[in-house]
Structure 1
Amino acid sequence: MALVDPQNPIKQQTLKFFTSDEYELAVNQSIQSLLDSLQNPSSDLSAFTSTFLELMQAKPIPLLESIWIFSGLTFHPKISSKDDILDQILAVKDLFQSITACSASCSSSTCIALIAPIIFKLYTVVVDSKRKVVDSKRGKKARREISKFLDVILGYFNVCSDGSNSDEDSALVRPIIDLVSIWVHGEATENRLKQFFPLLGDEIINWVTDESSCVIELLAGAVILESFMLKLCLKISEGISKEEVQNELRTWAVCSITGFHSFYFFDMLIKMLLEPNLTVTSLLSAEDDSFLRKLLYDVVILPDYSFLHIHKVNHLPINHIKNNILARIMVSHEAIELFRKNKDHSKAISYTNAFSGSHLPTLITKLATSELGNHGRTSQPKGSSPMAFLKWMLELEGQGLSFCDGFMSKHREKLVLYSSRSDFGQPSYKGDEGKTDEDLEFFIDNKGNDENEEEKIDDSMNDVFVAAAHAMRSDANGSGKKRKEISVEKKKDGVKFQRQNLVLVDHSGENSSLSEKEDDSESASEVEDPDSDSDE
Structure 2
Amino acid sequence: MQPPICKPRSQSDLGFLKPLLSDSIKQLLAQYRRGRTHFSDFDSIFTRVLHDLPEPPLELVWFYSAIRFHSSKLDFQGDSVGLTSSFFQLLLSFPVSFSDSFSGAKRVALLSPLVYQLSRLVNTRRKDALSLVDDIVSYVSMYCVEDPGDEEDLLMVSGFSFSDLARVWIVDEVEEDCRVEDCLEIFMPFVSERLRQEMDSESCSVGYLAGIVASQVFLLSLWLRFDSELSRSELRKNLRESVLQMISEFHSCYFFDVILKMLLLEPCLHLTSLLGQEDEATLTEIVTEAVIESVEKLFLNSGNGTLERGLHLKNIAINWLFLFDNAMTSLRRNKDQEEISRYMNMFSDSRIPCHLINWVISQGEVISDADTLLDSTPASIIEWLVSLEEQGLRVFDCDHSKNYAKTVIHRSRPDLSLEATLVEQQEEFDQDADMADDQVVSSISILSSGTRKRKEERLDKEGETKGKLFKYRHNTKFQPFVFSDGLVNGTEVEVSDMEL
TM-score if structure 1 supplies the norm length?
0.68
Question: Across the two proteins, how many residue pairs are aligned to each other?
Answer: 408
Of residues 154, 167, 180, the one that matches 2:166 is 180
SS of 1:302's equivalent in the other structure is helix
Structure 1 residue 83, shift from structure 2 partner: 7.5
**Residue 445 of structure 2 aligns with which residue?**
none
Name the CA shift for 1:17/1:370 in 2 (closer, same or farther; >3 Å): closer
Separation in 2, partners of 1:66, 1:181: 14
Matched, 1:353 2:349: no
Query: Would the alpha carbon gap of residues 235 and 39 (structure 1) be closer, same or farther in structure 2, given more than 3 Å must change?
Result: closer
| Residue ranges of structure 1 left out of the alignment (5+ in a row) | 1-15, 130-141, 434-506, 515-536
**1:291 corresponds to which letter in structure 2?**
T
Is 1:40 equivalent to 2:30 in the alignment? yes
- Alpha carbons of structure 1 residues 510 and 256: separation in structure 2 relative to 1, 3 Å: farther
Question: Aligned residue for 2:408?
Answer: 415
Note closer, same or farther for the CA distance 1:429–1:277 as it changes in structure 2 (3 Å cut): farther
Q: TM-score, normalised by structure 2?
A: 0.73
Quote the Cα distance in structure 1 between the aligned partners of 2:306 and 2:145.
19
SS in 1 for 2:275: coil
The 5 Å alignment of 1:316-327 reads 316=308, 319-327=311-319
111, 129, 135: which one aligns with 1:146 = 129
Matched-pair contact (CA < 8 Å) for 1:150–1:227:
yes
Determine if the alignment matches structure 1 residue 401 to structure 2 residue 397: no
Give the aligned partner of residue 368 of structure 1: 360
Is there any run of 5+ residues in structure 2 with no aligned partner, and where?
1-6, 430-459, 469-500
Q: Deviations over 1:462-495 (max 9, x none)?
A: xxxxxxxxxxxxxxxxxxxxxxxxxxxxxxxxxx
In structure 2, C-alpha distance between the alignment counterparts of 1:430 and 1:82, rounded to whole Å: 67
Task: Give the number of the structure whose residues are more often helix, by fraction.
Answer: 2
Q: Deviations over 1:390-414 (max 9, x none)?
A: 2222333343333104243331442
- 1:119-167 Cα shifts (integer Å, max 9, x gaps): 111111224x2xxxxxxxxxxxx20111111110010111224799975
C-alpha distance 508-92 of structure 1, shift in aligned 2 (>3 A): same
CA distance in 1, matches of 2:190, 2:118: 12
Residue 309 of structure 1 and its aligned partner are, at CA, apart by 3.9
Tell me if 1:122 matches 2:118.
Answer: yes
Aligned-CA RMSD value: 3.2
Q: CA deviation at 1:207?
A: 1.7
Name the CA distance, whole Å, in 2 between partners of 1:363 and 1:337: 24
Q: Is the 8 A contact 2:379 2:416 kept in 1?
A: no
CA offsets 1:15-36 (integer angstroms, 9 cap, x no match): x9974242x2343343122123
Q: Look up the match of 2:478.
A: none
- Contact 2:151/2:308 (8 A) holds in 1: no
Q: CA deviation at 1:342?
A: 2.2
Q: Is the 8 A contact 1:345 1:430 kept in 2?
A: no
Taking the aligned partners of 2:251 and 2:207, their CA distance within structure 1 comes to: 12
Task: Classify 1:56/1:238 alpha carbon distance in 2 versus 1 (closer, same or farther; 3 Å).
Answer: farther
**Using a 3 Å threshold, how does the CA distance of structure 1 residues 123 and 214 change in structure 2: closer, same or farther?**
same
Question: Aligned ranges for residues 18-167 of structure 1 at < 5 Å?
Answer: 19-22=10-13, 24-38=14-28, 40-41=30-31, 42=34, 45-79=39-73, 87-104=79-96, 105=99, 106-127=102-123, 129=124, 142-161=125-144
**Counterpart in 2 of 1:290?**
281
Cross-structure match for 1:220: 210
Shift of 1:71: 1.1
2:258 pairs, out of 262, 265, 268, with 268
1:407-442 C-alpha deviation (Å, 9 max, x unpaired): 433314422323345455313976999xxxxxxxxx
Match for 2:59: what amino acid?
E
Question: Could you tell me how far apart the structure 2 residues matched to 1:153 and 1:31 are?
Answer: 28
> In 2, are the aligned partners of 1:237 and 1:284 still within 8 Å (CA)?
no
Report the equivalent of 1:135. Answer: none
1:331 aligns with 2:323: yes
Alignment match of 1:281 (pick from 249, 272, 281): 272
